[in-house]
Chains A and B, each alone.
Chain A
Amino acid sequence: MMYDFFIEPFNHYAFLRRALVACIALSLGCAPVGVLLVLRRMSLMGDALSHSVLPGVALGYLLMGLSLPAMGIGGMLSGLLVALLASFISRQTVLKEDASFVGFYLIALALGAILVSTKGKNIDLMHILFGSILAVDKASLILIASITSVSVLVMALIFRPLVLECFDPIFMTSISGRGSLYHLIFMGLVVLNMVSAFQALGTLMALGMMMLPAITARFWAREVWSLYLIAILFAILSGFLGLIFSYHYSWPSGPAIILVAGVLYLITVIVGPYGSLRCRHT
Chain B
Amino acid sequence: MSQDLKPTLSFKNVTIAYKNSLALENISLDFFKGSLTAILGPNGGGKSTLLKSILGLVPLESGEIKKFSSKYKDIAYLPQQTEIDRTFPLTVNDVIAFGACQAKGFFKEINQETNVSIQKALEKVGLKEAGSRSLHTLSGGQFQRVLFARTMLQDAQIILLDEPFAAVDRFTIEDLIKIIKEWATEGRTIIVVSHDLEFVQTYFPQSILLARRVIAYGPTEKVITLKNLRQARQVSYEWEESNFQDDKTMQFLKNDV
Chain A positions near chain B (C-beta within 8 angstroms): 39, 157-158, 160-161, 163-164, 166-168, 170-171, 173-177, 221-224, 227
Contact = CB atoms under 8 A, between A and B. Distances in A.
18 contacts: A39-B88, A158-B106, A160-B106, A164-B101, A167-B90, A168-B79, A168-B98, A171-B77, A173-B55, A174-B57, A174-B75, A175-B154, A176-B101, A222-B89, A222-B136, A223-B89, A223-B91, A224-B90
Nearest to B136: A222
Nearest to B88: A167
B73 interface: yes
Interface in B77-112: 77-79, 83-85, 88-91, 94-95, 98, 101-102, 106-107
A220 to B, nearest CB: 11
A164 B99 CA distance: 10
B134 interface: yes
B96 to A, nearest CB: 12
A170 B79 contact: yes
Interface string B110-133: 000000000000000000000000
A172 to B, nearest CB: 9
Given A39-B88, A175-B73, A160 B101 contact: yes
B79 A39 contact: no
B57 A173 contact: yes
Secondary structure type dominating chain A contacts: helix
Nearest to A218: B89
Q: Which of B56, B90, B102 is packed against the most chain A CB atoms within 10 Å?
A: B90
Nearest to B51: A174
Given A160-B101, A222-B136, 6 more contacts: A160-B98, A164-B98, A164-B101, A222-B89, A223-B91, A227-B89
A171 B79 contact: yes
Nearest to B160: A174
Nearest to B132: A223
Contact of B134 (A158, A168, A171, A223): A223
A176 B99 CA distance: 11
Contacts of A167: 84-85, 88, 90, 95, 98
Nearest to B154: A175
Given A171-B79, A175-B154, A224 B73 contact: no
Which 5 pairs from chain A and chain B are nearest by CB? A174-B77, A170-B79, A175-B102, A161-B106, A160-B106
Contacts of B101: 160-161, 164, 175-176
Contacts of A221: 89
A223 B79 contact: no
A176 B75 CA distance: 11
Q: Which of B89, B98, B136 is packed against the most chain A CB atoms within 10 Å?
A: B89
Nearest to A41: B85
Contacts of A227: 89
Contacts of B77: 170-171, 174-175
A176 B154 CA distance: 12
A168 B102 CA distance: 14
B90 to A, nearest CB: 6
A158 B107 CA distance: 8
A174 B55 contact: yes
B83 A222 contact: no
Contact of B90 (A163, A170, A177): A163
Interface in B16-44: none
A177 to B, nearest CB: 8
A25 B136 CA distance: 33
Nearest to B162: A170
Q: Which of A167, A223, A227 is packed against the most chain B CB atoms within 10 Å?
A: A167
A204 B208 CA distance: 57
Contacts of B134: 222-223
A222 B136 CA distance: 9
B30 to A, nearest CB: 22
Nearest to A166: B88
